C-alpha cells in the first residue's frame, strides 16, 4: 500500500469484474476505503475479504435507476462521506443496425448513461460528498470515433462524454470535478464475449486497430486513480483516451 489515497473514500460500481475489479484493487492498495457495488452479493463479499484495508460491500442492481440516488446516500452515510465515485458498470453489445430494437437500445442507455446521471444526482447532495470530490465515468474510444456494429453502445458512450462535460460545468461550484476515461479494447470477460460473438477474423481486425495492442484492466485503473486524486485537481470535463492509440488514427 502506497498511501496515495489514504483517508479517502470512494464508491465503485461494477466492482467485481474487468476494469471495476482492477480499479478496486488499485485504489485499495493505494490506501482508499471503498464502497463496492455490483449485483452479485457473494462475489462482492469475497472481494472485500481479499482486498487490503477496510471496505464495504453493497449489492445493488443499477437497472433500478430511480433508486440509485438513495443508494449513493446510504453508501455515504455508512462511511461518513464520499470523496469520489467511479461508474465502471456498463453494457457492451454488438448489434448491427438491422437487428436493433427499441428495448436493446434502452437497456444499453439505461446502464451506461442514465445510471451515470443518477449516480451524479445522488453524489451532489449536500453532506453526501466530501470537499474536493471527484466523479469518474467510463466512456469508450468508440464513443469518440465510432465502429460498425456497435451503434447503440457507441452512441451511449458518446453521451457519457457529453454528460461529463455538462456536469463538470454544473458541479464545479459545488467542489466536484467530473471527468471520464475512454478505454480501447481491454482484455476482460466482456472482451472474451465479444471475441466469441464476432469470430477470430473480425476480432483480429479489432486488435489491429490498437497500435500498442489490447490493454489490460490495470492500464485503465491507474488513470482512473489519477483522475480521482488530488494530482488532477485542475482537471474537470476531460475525456481522457486510454486506448493503445485507437483514437489516434
**What are the residue numbers of the active site?**
153
Cα–Cα–Cα angle for 21, 69, 12, rounded to 5 degrees: 10
Element (H, E) at 103: helix 102-109
Is residue 27 within 8 Å of residue 12, measured between CB atoms?
yes
Closest among 32, 30, 25 to 1, alpha carbons compared: 30
Cα–Cα–Cα angle for 185, 112, 76, rounded to 5 degrees: 110
Bridge partners (DSSP) of residue 241 are: 182
Distance CA 182, CA 184 (A): 7
Collapsed DSSP state (helix, strand, coil) of residue 96: coil
Element (H, E) at 58: none
Is residue 138 within 8 Å of residue 160, measured between CB atoms?
yes
Query: Which residues have CB under 8 Å from 170's CB, separation 6+?
Result: none
Phi, psi of 37, deg, nearest 5: -130, 145
Element (H, E) at 159: helix 151-171
Collapsed DSSP state (helix, strand, coil) of residue 198: helix
Cα–Cα–Cα angle for 48, 49, 53, rounded to 5 degrees: 70
Amino acid at each position: 500500500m502506497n498511501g496515495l489515497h489514504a483517508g479517502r473514500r470512494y464508491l465503485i460500481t461494477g466492482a467485481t469484474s474487468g476494469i471495476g475489479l482492477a480499479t478496486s484493487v488499485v485504489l485499495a492498495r493505494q490506501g482508499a476505503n471503498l464502497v463496492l457495488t455490483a449485483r452479485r452479493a457473494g462475489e462482492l463479499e469475497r472481494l472485500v475479504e481479499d482486498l487490503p484495508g477496510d471496505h464495504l460491500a453493497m449489492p445493488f442492481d443499477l437497472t433500478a435507476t430511480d433508486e440509485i440516488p438513495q443508494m449513493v446516500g446510504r453508501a455515504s452515510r455508512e462511511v461518513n462521506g464520499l470523496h469520489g465515485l467511479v461508474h465502471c458498470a456498463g453494457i457492451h453489445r454488438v448489434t448491427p443496425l438491422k437487428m436493433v430494437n427499441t428495448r436493446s437500445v434502452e437497456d444499453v442507455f439505461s446502464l451506461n448513461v442514465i445510471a451515470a446521471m443518477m449516480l451524479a444526482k445522488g453524489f451532489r447532495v449536500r453532506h453526501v460528498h466530501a470537499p474536493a470530490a471527484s466523479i469518474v465515468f467510463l466512456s469508450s474510444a468508440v464513443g469518440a470515433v465510432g465502429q460498425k456494429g456497435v451503434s447503440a453502445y457507441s452512441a451511449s458512450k458518446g453521451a457519457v462524454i457529453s454528460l461529463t462535460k455538462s456536469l463538470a460545468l454544473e458541479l464545479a461550484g459545488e467542489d466536484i470535478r467530473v471527468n471520464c476515461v475512454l478505454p480501447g479494447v481491454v482484455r476482460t470477460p466482456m472482451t472474451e464475449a465479444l471475441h466469441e460473438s464476432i469470430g477470430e477474423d473480425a476480432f483480429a481486425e479489432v486488435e489491429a486497430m490498437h497500435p500498442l495492442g489490447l490493454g489490460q484492466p490495470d492500464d485503465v485503473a491507474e488513470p482512473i486513480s489519477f483522475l480521482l486524486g488530488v494530482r488532477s485537481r485542475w482537471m474537470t470535463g476531460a475525456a481522457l483516451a486510454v486506448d493503445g492509440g485507437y483514437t489516434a488514427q
